[in-house]
A = this chain, B = another copy of it.
Amino acid sequence: MIPRYTRKEAAAVWDAQTRFKIMFEIEAHAADAMAELGVIPKEAARVIWEKGRDAVWDPERIDDIERVVKHDVIAFLTHVTEIVGPEARFLHQGMTSSDVNDTTLAVQLSRATDLLIEDVDLVLAALKKRAFEHKLTPTVGRSHGIHAEPTTFGLKLAGHYAEFQRAKERLAMAKFEIATCAISGAVGTFANVAPQVEAYVAEKMGLAVEPVSTQVIPRDRHAAYFAALAVVASSIERLAVEIRHLQRTEVLEAEEFFEQGQKGSSAMPHKRNPILTENLTGLARLVRSAVTPALENVALWHERDISHSSVERGIAPDTTIHLDFALRRLANVVDRLLIYPENMQKNLDRLGGLVHSQRVLLALTQKGLSREASYAAVQRNAMRVWRGEGNFLDFLNADEEVTLSDAELEELFDLGYHFKNVDVIFARVFGEQT
């Protein structure tokens, strides 16, 4: 992971100490279950917890051992023996390395996802606050980057709120996908470890039991997990791109908060750049880049091969850490966003009323003109405005085919007309009539 895009809470999920602590807990819970089944002495299990519960593991020592044995879990167990003493020989009976590694990964991904869900809640809170502030702030809706019709800034934000609600559901689903425990032995047959051990460890670690593990937990789960995170990243990108557009010099309807002492450019002191949202755009690309390798990890050979492991050593921490950072940054950007309603109004007025072309079109068809003739009449006058020849309303008034009175036309240019259903949409999104 990239240090500058890393929160310490997210990094903590992935540090060596956390990992070894989880590994120990899995082994020790398994020992408890085996002791209960009479497979190992209860006293051994007790001593293991006593000596290991609050142990500080030594990652460097474990690395040293691994350099000799070329096997990470054996290196860990050897170190556990150094700390816990001879009772450690009762650990890991009938288990395989993947039982520990995969279940540890499940715990880490679950915890990381809990952070991500908290983060999305912050984004949602910021969006909701700003959406209600600007529920009726008029702004132009743009399709294809071109002025279309009026909308409100609150509606824009409500749309993103709804999208992040879906993001939250996707994260919950993603956690559900990967939060499983496998303690099933060498090729998943429970030959040397009873299914009860798995059930016990699963419950203690807050996981479900994996129905069929073949030494490993099947990697379709992880592919689905990283795919879900990638979709969340794209939702971040959509909001980031929106803000970048709004901050463009010619638009300037909103702006990232610019702190005291901040410098926009080493060369041009006048600059105020949307660097946070540009950064989020890049982070979204990084997070998404985990999808393809995660999909390629699914088709492991037979009961397992270990090709997935190096991939996950990279993408599991990197993707969750960067997404955590991005969501926090996004929440902050939205929360402190400088919003300029007067510029929104100025932009809305820029085309001299062209944004009302559809209403004129509909009014003409309702007067009995064919759709095609109505369209042609409105387009003909609109194009004159684009060419800078004058004012839309004047042209319409002067056009003989446009059989609408002055009063009728004026009413068609009323902005409020567009906002009559804002309450309906807000109720759909925020679940309340406000």
Contacts and interface: CB of A to CB of B under 8 A. Distances in A.
Given A2-B314, A290-B289, A382-B269, A195 B421 contact: yes
Contacts of A305: 143-145, 244, 278, 281
A7 to B, nearest CB: 15
Interface in A264-283: 264-275, 278-279, 281-283
A116 interface: no
Contact of A159 (B92, B188, B288, B362): B188
Interface in A64-108: 68-71, 73-74, 77-78, 81, 86, 89, 92-97
A288 B215 CA distance: 26
Given A142-B303, A296-B296, 11 more contacts: A70-B262, A86-B370, A97-B266, A142-B302, A143-B302, A156-B303, A189-B425, A238-B298, A269-B375, A282-B309, A286-B310
A34 to B, nearest CB: 12
A361 B267 contact: yes
Contact of A357 (B145, B233, B269, B309): B269
Interface in A286-323: 286, 288-293, 295-311, 313-315, 318, 322
One complex includes copies of this chain to the number of 4
A55 interface: no
Contact of A149 (B68, B191, B296, B370): B191
A213 B430 CA distance: 15
A51 interface: no
Interface stretch (A18-26, A346-354, A403-411): A346-354
A231 interface: yes
A58 interface: no
Contact of A279 (B5, B186, B310, B314): B310
A234 B220 contact: yes
A306 to B, nearest CB: 5
Interface in A237-265: 237-238, 240-242, 244-245, 247-251, 259, 261-265
Given A144-B278, A186-B149, A311 B286 contact: yes
B228 A268 contact: no
Nearest to A382: B270
A192 interface: yes
Interface string A166-210: 110010010001000000011111111011000000000000010
26 contacts: A5-B310, A89-B370, A96-B267, A141-B188, A143-B187, A144-B273, A144-B306, A145-B247, A149-B268, A159-B214, A191-B421, A220-B231, A220-B235, A223-B230, A230-B291, A244-B301, A249-B351, A270-B351, A272-B386, A275-B306, A282-B309, A282-B310, A285-B293, A286-B293, A289-B293, A314-B322
- Which of A69, A149, A382 has the most chain B CB atoms inside 10 A of its CB? A149
A379 B270 contact: yes
A212 interface: yes
A86 B74 CA distance: 58
Given A220-B238, A290-B289, A68 B261 contact: yes
A46 interface: no
A268 B148 contact: yes
